[in-house]
Amino acid sequence: MKSVLFINTKPPYSSLATREAIDAVLATAAFGVPAGLLFIDDGVFQLRKGQNPQPAELKRTAPMFEALDMYGVEEIHVCQASLERRGLQPDDLIVPVQIADASALRALLNRFDHLLTF
Amino acid sequence: MILHIVSASPYSHDALQRCLRLAADHDAILLIEDGVLALDSSAHFLDQSPTRHLYALEPDLHARGVVQADDNVVTTVDYDGFVELTTRCDKTVSWF
Model confidence at B48, pLDDT cuts 50, 70, 90, reads low
Count of all residues that appear for chain B in the document: 96
Q: Please give the Cα distance from A111 to A116 (Å, whole number).
A: 13
CATH architecture of B2-95: 3-Layer(aba) Sandwich (3.40)
Mean confidence (pLDDT) of chain B: 92
Per-residue pLDDT averaged across A28-44, rounded? Answer: 97
Nearest Cα to Cα of residue A102 among B73, B19, B72, B86: B19
Per-residue burial over A91-111, b if 16 or more Cβ lie within 10 Å, else e, is eebebebeebeeeebbebbee
3-state secondary structure (DSSP) of residue A115: strand
Nearest Cα to Cα of residue B94 among B31, B6, B9, B1: B6
| DSSP conformation letters of B36-82 | GGGGBTT--SSTT-SSSEEEEEHHHHHHHT--B-TT--PEEE-HHHH
Where do the structural domains in chain B lie, given as residue ranges?
2-95
- Is domain A4-50+59-117 annotated with CATH 3.30.420.480? no
| Range of lowest pLDDT (B6-15, B45-54, B87-96) | B45-54
Is the pLDDT assigned to residue B76 strictly greater than 90? yes
pLDDT of res. B71: 72
> How close B1 gets to chain A, by Cα (Å)?
9
User: Chain A residues with CB inside 8 Å of B35's CB?
Assistant: none
Q: pLDDT of A47-91, one tens digit each?
A: 999 999 999 999 988 889 999 999 999 999 999 999 999 999 999
Choose the mutation target among B5, B22, B25, B92 for the interface with A, i.e. most A CBs under 10 Å: B22
Per-residue pLDDT averaged across B64-71, rounded? Answer: 85
Mean confidence (pLDDT) of chain A: 96
Q: Which residue has the higher pLDDT, B13 or B69?
A: B13
Per-residue pLDDT averaged across A81-110, rounded? Answer: 97
* A40·B18 Cβ contact <8 A: yes
> Do the interacting molecules here have an ipTM over 0.90?
no
pTM higher than 0.80: yes
In this structure, the number of other CB atoms found within 10 A of the CB of residue B74 comes to 19
* A110·B14 Cβ contact <8 A: no
Is the pLDDT assigned to residue B69 strictly greater than 80? no
pLDDT of res. B42: 82
pLDDT of res. B52: 82
